Amino acid sequence: MKVIENTIPADIYRQLRVAAGLSPKTQEAAKTGLRNSIHSVMIQHENQIIGMGRIIGDAGCFCQVVDIAVLPEYQGQGVGKMIIRNLMDFINTNLPSSCYVSLIADGDASFLYEKFGFKDTLPASRGMAYKVQ
């Protein structure tokens, strides 16, 4: 498997999100979001992109790990770990130690993130979301 950094095409991003069970995004939103990423990574197996992840934020005070997506047929094979390891290497090498890095863990994904040092913020704080209509 090959790690490719900072070159996720919008069409692949959109396809991979849906295939992995994440919400769909418009082409325009995908292009804007990808362009504004702090760091991104894709995992390629043979000629197919099978996983991805991104870091977004201001690269100083606050960042968020987002878009962790792995094709269903490759889940449970270490692809998610490859993605998170790459993102964590970037975080630990390039962001200030005072930067607050957060993520939203869906389902059992929290177990993977805990292996890389992420901790549940409850009861001190609770994540909230707002969906633009």
Sheet containing 62-70: give its strands across.
Answer: 2-5, 39-45, 48-57, 62-70, 100-103
Please compute Rg for the chain using Cα positions. 14
CATH 3.40.630.30 corresponds to the domain 2-115 = yes
Instruction: Encode the chain (133 residues) as per-residue pLDDT tens digits.
Output: 999 999 999 999 999 999 999 999 999 999 999 999 999 999 999 999 999 999 999 999 999 999 999 999 999 999 999 999 999 999 999 999 999 999 999 888 999 999 999 999 988 888 888 989 8
Sequence spans of domains, the chain: 2-115
Residue type, 102: S
